[in-house]
Amino acid sequence: MALAIKKVGVIGSGQMGNGIAHVAALGGFDVVLNDIAADRIKSALATINGNLSRQVAKKTITEEQRKQALARISGAERLEDLAGCDLVIETAVEKEDVKRKIFNELCSVLQPEAIIASNTSSISITRLAATTDRPERFIGIHFMNPVPRMELVELIRGIATDDATFEAAKEFVARLGKQVAVSEDFPAFIVNRILLPMINEAIYTLYEGVGNVEAIDAAMKLGAHHPMGPLELADFIGLDTCLSIMQVLHEGLADSKYRPCPLLVKYVEAGWLGRKTQRGFYDYRGDKPVPTR
């Protein structure tokens, strides 16, 4: 029998965290949004309110649903405040040591039957689960960005994840109105295993001078009907995230086809990480984005 999930904790109030809190609250769950700084939580709640209001304007939800969803979300600066949650989803940075530290502290405050999930886009669920006191109640629930708009959620079982945990996670995702794709626990799972090497290849195409930024993005938008060009998409994801996923693929699968492009490494070293730093393959500091190469 699937475990009943009523209260959901979300660790990290960044883009992914506030998106997950948003859809969980709309799905009827009580949500505790945790971050180490009060101002981050405040800004996340303002973002959620803005995104919900946009949905009201587009008539995808009612004003009443917006109010109810906001009322279901509370902020928390301490992990102890997640004690009553049935499911806690971690959305911290894509660094294994950071995630391990969080799980270590989290396990001591949670009820023994609570489920822990990671929103990691590439790190082994089996390995993360092994650092906790409940590997059978640990699962990968990988949301796509931006969470409120993207229909897919990847579910990844670790070697120890039990059936009850898997069924509970599946039911949770269904209540959010999302579709599940089940992935085996291999580096970068399904979406990023296919998407990131494509982005990396687009960066190689730029690096080798086959085409400039505009030509590459136009080619894939108009020639393959992609809604965004691969370089524009890389800027949206964050070049540091793109690089870390390519490194996980390269180390985990030991195949030279996953070698991160030196140009991607250079941009990350320069601190040009895409939209979030105002510069990446495009410069976002003016009225409209201008290619940087």
Catalytic residues: 121, 142, 154, 192
Nearest in space to 213 (alpha carbons), one of 194, 233, 192: 233
* Cα dihedral: 55, 59, 65, 69 (round 10): -10
Nearest in space to 72 (alpha carbons), one of 138, 6, 3, 126: 6
Cα distances (Å, whole numbers) of residue 103 to 9, 64, 95, 111, 133: 13, 36, 13, 13, 9
Residue type, 227: P
Q: Match 């939800």 to its residue by tokens.
A: 61
User: Phi/psi at 204 (nearest 5 deg)?
Assistant: -60, -40
